[in-house]
Structures are given as C-alpha cells and as structure tokens.
Amino acid sequence: MPEGADGPRKTLLFGHPQGLGVIAATEFWDRISFHGMQSLLVLFMAEQLFRPGRIETIIGFEAFRSAIFTVTGPLSTQALASQIFGLYAGMVYLTPVAGGLVGDRLTGRRAAVTAGALMMAAGHACMVFDQTFLIALLLLILGAGLFRGNLAAQVGALYDGKDRRRAFGFQIYYAMLNAGALIAPLITGTLASRAGWHYGFGFAGLGMLVGVVVYLAGNRTVPPDPPRKPKGERTQLTARERRVVQGVLGLLPVAMLFWVAQTQIWNTYNLWARDHLDLNVSGFQIPVPWMQSVDSFFTAALLPVVLWIWKAQARRGKEPDELGKMALGCFAFAAAVLVLAAAGMHDGGRSRSALGWAIAFHAISNIGYLYFAPTAVALVSRVAPPALNAMLIGLYLTSIFFGSLFAGRIGALYELLPPVQFWLVHAIAAALAGVLLLGLAGTFRRSFGTPASVAIEMEPQSPQFTADCSAGTRRGSRQSGKAG
C-alpha cells in the first residue's frame, strides 16, 4: 500500500482499496439514473409534456419559455424540446466546474458528493410530476455539479501518485460508468413504452437513491477530504505556461464544433429514430431509447481495438500525436453522420430506413469519439500548469456546454429541413473541426510543446488508459467519459 496510507486505504478489495468498489458502484447507479432519464427526456417533452392541457400546468414554464423565445424567436413543440434538452445537457457539463471548487474550498468532497446525490434523487422524484418539471431539471443540474465535480477526484485520491494500480482502478471505475450507460436506456425505455413515461423516470430516481445508500453505507472507505487551499493563494505563471493557457482557449471553439455534432446524438437523434428508422425486428418494436444503449455498446466494444491500433502504430513509430488523433476523430465522426444523411437517400421506395444504417452510424461514430474525446482531455491534462490543471480541464469541458447549446438551437431545423440536409449540417461541423485542427496544428504545438507517445507499460482497456496513453504518462489523469 502507499506509504503513510490512512484507514480507508488499508482495506483491500482484490488488490485495490475497498473505497474503489463503493465509488464505482455509486457511479454505476448515478449513470443508471442519468442515462435512463436522458434517453427519455426529449421524446417525453415533444410527445407528451408540451402538449396543450399539460404544458400549462408546469410551474414557471411560461416565463421560462418567454425567456427562450426572446433569444431564439418562436419555436415549435419539437424545436422547443430540442432547445431545452440542449440547455440541460450543456449545464450538466458546466456545473461540475463550480462543484469541484465547492468540494475543494468549502464543504469537502464527501459532503459535496452526498449533497449532490440527494439533490439528483429529489430531481428525479420531481420528474414524476408535470408541475415540477423545471424544478426537477434545476435540481438535476445543480446536483450533477456537486456529485460529478468530486466523485471522480476521490478515485485518484485512493492511490499514491506513483501507484501503478491507479490506471487499473480507473478502468474499473469507467467500466461501471459505461455499464450503467448501457443498461439504463434498456430498462427505462421499456418501462416508458410499456407502462408509461413516469414509470421510466421513477426507475431513474430509484437508481439514484440506491446510489446514495451505497455511498453513505461505504463512506468510511472513501478517501478523507484533502486539506483546504489557503484563500488568496496565487501562483505566478511562466511565459510558456501562459502560452499553454492561450492554446487551450484557442482549442475551445474547435472542440465545440465536434461537440455540436456529438451531443445531437443525445438530442434530436431520438426524434429522427422515431420518425425515420424501421425499428421493427421480427414483429418486435424496439423502443427508441434503446438506441442509446447501442451507442454505449460500441463505445465499450471498440475501445480495445482503438488502443491496439495505437500501440501497434507506436511500435512502428507511426502513431499520430494528440492533435492528429483528434483530427482523425473529427473526420471519422463526420463520416458517421454522413451515414445518417445517406440513410435518407436509400432506394427501394420504403418510408423508413433499415436498422443497419443506424448500426453503421454508431460503430463509425464511436471510433471518432474514442479518437477525439479522451485524447482532448488528456492533452489538456498533460500540458496544463499544475496550479491550473483542474481549472483548465474544467475550462475545456465548457466546449461541451457550448456545443450542447448550439446543438439544441440547430435542433430547431429538424422540422424545417429534410433529414439528408439536417445531418449534412452536423457532418460539416465535425469535418470543419478536423480541418481546423490540421490547419492550426503548428500553432497549437508551439503552445503545447512536444507531443507525447503511447509507448508505455500499463494495463489497457479503459478510457482512463486511453487518456494516459495519449498523455504519455503513468499517472492517471481524470477525464470525462462519453457517458459524461
């Protein structure tokens, strides 16, 4: 065990601190609740909640809708649902920046995680009632900020800085995260289609409550809160560190273009699948939310393949650097979205596209995701000055926030454009991000320094390992998985 280990680290679970099992199980149930609810949200708003007779019952909705229309102009029911989903998804990625600061500076991580989980459980409970819909979204956004801004940090705190088990510990953590993202839409989608929307939301809330119980029951095994940083403590940056900060700021609008296309798959894609995809398989009608589970399946299935490719390229000295991988990821994602556009041009005179088009899209898009998303976070983690590391990673994640906002706004075009043109817009956004990365690669490299190699000795098979490979370091850098 690490030298000077405290109580929570002394109890082992298959060679790892017992707290890892508690944190990973808590994250599993969080993802059950989050992805279960997210897979239903835009469909529920468009098909049920925003219909006459129900929308009027939502507390505060008239003022909320007027505020949105002030910015966007009048929107149809589906366009409004897409815009609100974009706001919600974006805020979920923005609030953890503040939530991490609250945990580090004010309450401590344990208290912040517990408070965040309870707020999300309350938010899911409010989703069961039409009247408290906006209150539910607010509680979920604020709760996610406290919860996610601090839970992943506790994984790293289980291990000493030189402990090589750290990477495998993150593998376990992200495996549970992706397992929750895979399972949740299957359950909530089935409940929503067979029993009713609120049963699906109710299950998501039950999942979060289980997560709260797991975390509180195992609270003694998680790491103690680190010492608070003195207020007003400042660190002078060198000229090179200032260039790094400028480089990260320059990377944000490029990354935002990728996330415009990516986050649309959590948003309007569900409406497209409902309207244009043949979901009947041998007489069984596949619930639309199940397609989100298909996406999570390919994330897990293709990760070992991508890592193998990178290691093989590294052995031959032909592995792309971080910026090269990110550019390839953008082009792969653009190609995947072109598959959705091509689905609208298939022949045969059928009114709906075959399921195989969607399967091909998810397979190709996840290659693009794995090349871009973990690599981008690892790049920022590698180059950021120690005094600003967490802040710059949080700053990078705002690209997901803005990408979600724009994706929600572009979602208004879904009813105005044919599917071919709608998806072409997103393919162009992803491809443009790749072009900008290649065109500005020299500038970014001058800001970030020498790119790193993947050739290190570490257990593969996880998003955390992907990030560490890209960063060329044995230390476990925290990152956001696709599931969030």
Query: Which of 113-122, 385-394, 431-440 bottoms out in mean pLDDT, i.e. has the lowest?
Result: 385-394
Instruction: Provide mean pLDDT across the span 309-316.
Output: 89
3-state secondary structure 342-379: HHCCCCCCCCCECHHHHHHHHHHHHHHHHHHHHHHHHH
Output 390-395 pairs: Cβ under 8 A, ≥24 positions apart: 390/100, 391/97, 392/244, 392/245, 392/248, 393/478, 394/96, 394/97, 394/100, 395/97, 395/248, 395/249, 395/252
What percentage of residues in the chain have a pLDDT greater than 70? 82
Q: 103 falls in which pLDDT band (50, 70, 90)?
A: confident
The whole-model pTM stands at 0.76
What percentage of residues in the chain have a pLDDT greater than 90? 33
Percent helix, strand, coil in the chain (nearest 5)? 75, 0, 25
Q: Give the pLDDT of residue 54.
A: 93
Q: Give the pLDDT of residue 19.
A: 82
**3 or 126, higher pLDDT:** 126
d(CA 441, CA 425): 24
Write the burial class of residue 332 (CB in 10 Å: 0-12 exposed, 13-18 middle, 19+ buried). buried
Q: 231 falls in which pLDDT band (50, 70, 90)?
A: low
Domain ranges of the chain: 12-225, 238-484
**49 or 382, higher pLDDT:** 49
CATH number of this structure's domain 238-484: 1.20.1250.20
Query: Which of 108-122, 187-201, 209-223, 389-403 bottoms out in mean pLDDT, i.e. has the lowest?
Result: 389-403
Closest residue by Cα to residue 384 from 464, 322, 481, 471 = 471
Closest residue by Cα to residue 343 from 335, 332, 333, 354 = 354
Considering 194-203, 249-258, 296-305, the range whose residues carry the highest mean pLDDT is: 249-258
Q: 168 falls in which pLDDT band (50, 70, 90)?
A: low
CATH number of this structure's domain 12-225: 1.20.1250.20
Q: 27 falls in which pLDDT band (50, 70, 90)?
A: confident
Instruction: Provide mean pLDDT across the span 427-435.
Output: 96
